[in-house]
Amino acid sequence: MPEAHEPVPVHPVPELSEDEKHLARLGYKQDLNRSWSGFSNFAISFSIISILAGCFTNFGAGFNNGGPISISWSWPILGVFILIIGFTMSELVSAYPTSGGIYWWASKLGGPAAGFFTGWLNLIGLVAVTAGVSYGCATFIDLTISTYSESFAADYSLTRVFVIFVIVLALVSLLNIFSGHLMAIMNNVSVWWHVIGASAIVLVLIFVPDQHQSFSYVFTERFNNSGYADGSTTTLAFWFAIVPFGFLLTQYTITGFDACAHLSEETAAASQAAAKGIWRSIFYSVIGGYILLLCVVFAIPDNPETGQADNALAGLGVQPIFLTALGQNWATFVLFISASAQFFCATSCMTSASRMTFAFSRDGAIPGSAVFQKLTAARVPANAVVFVGVCSALLTLPALIKVDVGGTPVPLAFYAVTSIAVIGLYLAFAIPIFLRWRMGDAFEAGSWTNGSKYKWMNPIAVIEIVVVSLFLMMPTTPAANPFRDEFEWKFVNYAPIVTLGALLILTIWWFASARHWFTGPKHTIDQAVVEAFDE
């Protein structure tokens, strides 16, 4: 009698959570540590938006290109458009909650080419926003110390600010390398720092100044310090060219909310939490930022010689406003709150950018991908963090060049870096938003959806992004226009050179090489496992 064959051992399918099952259906195993709560996911985008960063660092860009109305009217109007963009992206992250986020959506909806270009635009934008926020943080650290110490202020130099910038980049890199869970805790703390800190600044700006500007000034006063149109505030050029230059204030401040998507693989109940995190971070930032900015404009002091609001002083940025209206001690206090918030913001930007680098490398799209997709024992993409830090420093090197406009030092390089961030990020957003609209009702939505409203939301989102991106590529001062006699290269807005130059290089690279090997997101999980738990 033949011996019975021993049964072949069957390896049990690992017990997966609903989040891990959803991720597995998208082709990935759970490599990153899923320790973030829904609040932490919301917190990272809220921290990156950081009303205490963008509202203050780019105040001059808004005020000089339109005056008070460029803030009191442009901010809420653009805020509504950006919220629409957020809603369209919330629907996408609910369906596809992966670290690749934006480029993964584009690949799924439009194929490898769409994913390739979207991914690189997103990565350029994330590196630029990390650079911009870190440089803004360094500037405000320098301003805080300078406001408190006259001797420190006397030795001001662009080199000193750049050294502080490099130190900030190094610190946020080290914090990101240490632990992914530490970043979740820091973002939770950051939310309350922003809420309590912004509230404190609002109260200081209301009660400390001896006088405030009128409602008429805040909501009707126009000011043109762009150098264009001979300072006119009544021509069509003022409304359709000068004021849009000031859109950088709003559009740069309220960006980076794609972090909710990049951290979705580390977030519990991601298809709901990440979707809500995107639109809620935008909504609360629009409201909080508007209140904060209005308080700054109301606090603009009068010029003692004219008895009128000192527009020239306000055009220099928030520090002269705070120092004149609040005095040295209160101004130092306000600047310290802002500088600290910007450090939290820079740390969050690094987290988001490094996760995008990890995800893009996981799919082989970045040269040296094998290096950048490696995780440490703490399951953190440390090499990706270093890569983002080095690229951020290189991108900001032009900030060492001193630029004076009308005898006033202007941080044109900083504005260029922030423009690159806005253009790169928002153009990356536009591609999957358009592709989702083109797919129509065939789109397989997640648990959070816009329903039929996508039919008008998505086209509006794409149009807004394209229009604003075009304005941010324009020369921001007459001396940056190559067709004018006063043209000098140091005044040039290098945002279009970087973004359009990068697109040209990517196009050549795609047709010459990448299209033969980049096939979109790669699966890192056995399909048999997916089929087993779907049975």
Instruction: Indicate the pLDDT class of residue 181, thresholds 50, 70 and 90.
Output: low
- Per DSSP, helices labelled H in 96-228 are 102-110, 112-148, 150-154, 158-178, 180-207, 215-220
Supply 493's token pair.
């807005």
How many Å separate Cα 84 from the centre of its chain?
Answer: 16
Predicted local distance difference test score (pLDDT) of residue 11: 47
Angle (CA) 88 450 55, round 5°: 40
Residue 401 neighbours by CB distance under 10 Å: 12
Instruction: Indicate the pLDDT class of residue 35, thresholds 50, 70 and 90.
Output: low
Indicate the length of the chain as a whole number.
535
Question: What are the beta bridge partners of residue 302?
Answer: 309
Predicted local distance difference test score (pLDDT) of residue 410: 62
Predicted local distance difference test score (pLDDT) of residue 431: 95
Q: Do strands 404-405 and 223-224 pair parallel, antiparallel, or not at all (unpaired)?
A: unpaired
Where is mean pLDDT largest: 166-175, 260-269, 472-481? Answer: 166-175
Say if residue 407's pLDDT is above 60. no
Predicted local distance difference test score (pLDDT) of residue 280: 93
CA–CA distance, 111 with 486 (Å, rounded to integer):
46
Q: Do strands 223-224 and 65-66 pair parallel, antiparallel, or not at all (unpaired)?
A: antiparallel
pLDDT digits (tens, 9 = 90+) for 40-88: 778 878 888 889 988 998 898 899 999 999 999 999 999 999 999 999 9
Residues sharing a CB contact under 8 Å with residue 220, sequence separation 6 or more, in sequence order = 68, 69
Predicted local distance difference test score (pLDDT) of residue 405: 59
CA–CA distance, 224 with 462 (Å, rounded to integer):
29
Supply 222's token pair.
């126009």
How many Å separate Cα 146 from the centre of its chain?
Answer: 27
- Calculate Rg over the CA atoms of the chain: 24
Instruction: Indicate the pLDDT class of residue 180, thresholds 50, 70 and 90.
Output: low
pTM for this prediction:
0.87
Cβ(74)–Cβ(243) below 8 Å? yes
Say if residue 464's pLDDT is above 90. yes
Query: Could you report how far apart the first and last alpha carbons of the chain are, in Å?
Result: 38
- Residue written as tokens 């060049």? 401
CA–CA distance, 291 with 198 (Å, rounded to integer):
9
Cβ(413)–Cβ(403) below 8 Å? yes
CA–CA distance, 7 with 312 (Å, rounded to integer):
86
Say if residue 9's pLDDT is above 60. no
| Domains in the chain, CATH or no CATH each | 35-472 (1.20.1740.10)
Predicted local distance difference test score (pLDDT) of residue 409: 62
Say what percent of the chain tops pLDDT 70.
89
Say if residue 10's pLDDT is above 50. no
Which DSSP letter does residue 239 get?
A: I
Say if residue 238's pLDDT is above 70. yes
Cβ(60)–Cβ(249) below 8 Å? no
CA–CA distance, 471 with 64 (Å, rounded to integer):
15
Predicted local distance difference test score (pLDDT) of residue 31: 66
Q: Give the chain's mean pLDDT.
A: 86
Instruction: Indicate the pLDDT class of residue 418, thresholds 50, 70 and 90.
Output: confident
* Lowest pLDDT segment from 278-287, 346-355, 472-481: 472-481
Q: For CA atoms 391, 352, 282, 455, give the dihedral sign.
A: positive
Query: What are all long-range contacts of 499-507, with beta carbons under 8 Å and residues at least 24 apart?
Result: 499/121, 499/124, 499/420, 499/423, 499/424, 499/427, 499/473, 500/473, 502/120, 502/121, 502/124, 503/117, 503/121, 506/116, 506/117, 506/120
Predicted local distance difference test score (pLDDT) of residue 525: 58
Instruction: Indicate the pLDDT class of residue 106, thresholds 50, 70 and 90.
Output: very high
Say what percent of the chain tops pLDDT 90.
47
Instruction: Indicate the pLDDT class of residue 494, thresholds 50, 70 and 90.
Output: confident
Residues sharing a CB contact under 8 Å with residue 345, sequence separation 6 or more, in sequence order = 47, 48, 50, 52, 53, 133, 137, 190
- Residue written as tokens 């939301």? 457
Q: For CA atoms 504, 506, 509, 513, give the dihedral sign.
A: negative
Say if residue 401's pLDDT is above 60. yes
CA–CA distance, 141 with 129 (Å, rounded to integer):
18
Cβ(104)–Cβ(135) below 8 Å? no
* Mean predicted confidence (pLDDT) in 432-437: 96
Which DSSP letter does residue 525 get?
A: S
Predicted local distance difference test score (pLDDT) of residue 237: 86
Helix (H, G, I), strand (E, B) or coil at 227: coil
| Phi, psi for residue 216 in degrees, rounded to 5 | -60, -40
Cβ(138)–Cβ(146) below 8 Å? no
Say if residue 523's pLDDT is above 70. no
Say if residue 2's pLDDT is above 60. no
* Mean predicted confidence (pLDDT) in 249-267: 83
Instruction: Indicate the pLDDT class of residue 28, thresholds 50, 70 and 90.
Output: low
Say if residue 441's pLDDT is above 80. yes
pLDDT digits (tens, 9 = 90+) for 108-148: 899 999 999 999 998 999 999 999 999 999 999 999 999 99
Instruction: Indicate the pLDDT class of residue 255, thresholds 50, 70 and 90.
Output: confident
Predicted local distance difference test score (pLDDT) of residue 14: 55
Instruction: Indicate the pLDDT class of residue 413, thresholds 50, 70 and 90.
Output: confident
Q: Which amino acid is at 28?
A: Y
CA–CA distance, 99 with 356 (Å, rounded to integer):
6
Say if residue 528's pLDDT is above 50. no
CA–CA distance, 398 with 79 (Å, rounded to integer):
30
Cα separation values, 71 from 76, 204, 245, 420, 422, Å: 8, 20, 12, 21, 18
Question: What are the beta bridge partners of residue 267?
Answer: 36
